[in-house]
Amino acid sequence: MNRVLQPFASTQPSATWPFMIGSLLVALACLWLLQWTAAPELQDSGVWMGLRGGALCGLATAIGALPVLIVRSIPQRLADALLGFGAGVMLAASAFSLVLPGLQAARAMDYSAWGAGWLVSAGLMLGALVLLGLDKVLVDDPLDARRALVPSRLVVFVLAIMLHNVPEGMAVGVAAGGRLPEAASLAMGIALQDIPEGLVVAVVLAGAGMARAKAVFIGVLSGVVEPLAAVLSAMAMTVSTLLLPWGLAFAAGAMLIAVAHSVIPESGRHGHGIIASIGLAAGFCLMMMLDTALA
């Protein structure tokens, strides 16, 4: 089964969509480039590092969506492999950049090994339950098709992508706000997997009949939540270091649910489970090496 997604819609887009795409790209690029012009003391702050990492991830998502403006189709097998790759990166990030530092932070607060394990487990379960609750509230009651920017049959997919971008941004912000050595590798790893993710979002929307420029705009927009989540999470970490293990565990739980509930099922839905699983393993290995090399 090596089906190709249906050729993308050829409807000529309104001039508004390219302008909106360009505006989002410029905004994300400016957020990221500000790191080179800020005062040194500002660059060293956890909130600024969170903004920088979140903007990088959002920009990567936007860049991934852009090729849909010129390509007409993409093999379904490749799309599923890319989703699997993203799932592997997120799983490795949960383990090496969130759970393990969370355990270390708890031990540094004089918790015993068992106590640290229980604390991180509680935070992880809390993050998982919150994301599942949001998923149920936002997805089980889809928007009316006449008012929706996205057709109602695609609302579930788009909301799932946006929801799992939230814990990605949270993870970057928590690591930056806690001044963890893994923060740089985590941001880079998530940005790498955001490139194919942005492509897949735009491909699915365009393949379902949406005008290509509009599909790219939604793909770019799906990454905008990451810098916002990163900044809010980094700000929370600056309030008290006691929040660090809880924040890391919460982000890990939300990310695990996003992978298990949305990304992995979508990657295997078209019968390409083997290639998606290989992509998952490759993504896991890449993120593991990034975490080791850049920490």
The predicted pLDDT at position 162 comes to: 67
Long-range contacts of 34-42 (CB under 8 A, 24+ apart): none
The predicted pLDDT at position 16 comes to: 66
Longest dimension (CA), the chain: 62
Structure tokens at 287: 């993120």
Residue 141 in this model has a pLDDT that exceeds 50:
no
The predicted pLDDT at position 5 comes to: 47
**AA identity, residue 128:** A
Cα–Cα distance measured from residue 214 to residue 207, given in angstroms and rounded to the nearest whole number:
12
Residue 10 in this model has a pLDDT that exceeds 50:
no
Query: How many C-beta atoms surround the C-beta of residue 87 within 10 A?
Result: 28
For 204-217, the pLDDT digits (tens) are 677 656 777 887 88
The predicted pLDDT at position 179 comes to: 79
Spans of all domains in the chain = 16-294
pLDDT band at 176 (very low <50, low <70, confident <90, very high): confident
**177 neighbors 236 (Cβ within 8 angstroms):** yes
Give the CA angle between residues 38, 181, 96 to the nearest 5°.
130
Global pTM exceeds 0.75: no
Cα–Cα distance measured from residue 247 to residue 123, given in angstroms and rounded to the nearest whole number:
7
The predicted pLDDT at position 40 comes to: 61
Interval 146-161 mean pLDDT: 53
What is the distance in angstroms between the CA of the first residue and the CA of the last residue of the chain? 40
pLDDT band at 42 (very low <50, low <70, confident <90, very high): low
> What average pLDDT does the chain have?
76
Query: How many C-beta atoms surround the C-beta of residue 214 within 10 A?
Result: 22
For 218-252, the pLDDT digits (tens) are 888 888 888 888 888 888 887 776 777 888 888 88
pLDDT band at 111 (very low <50, low <70, confident <90, very high): very high
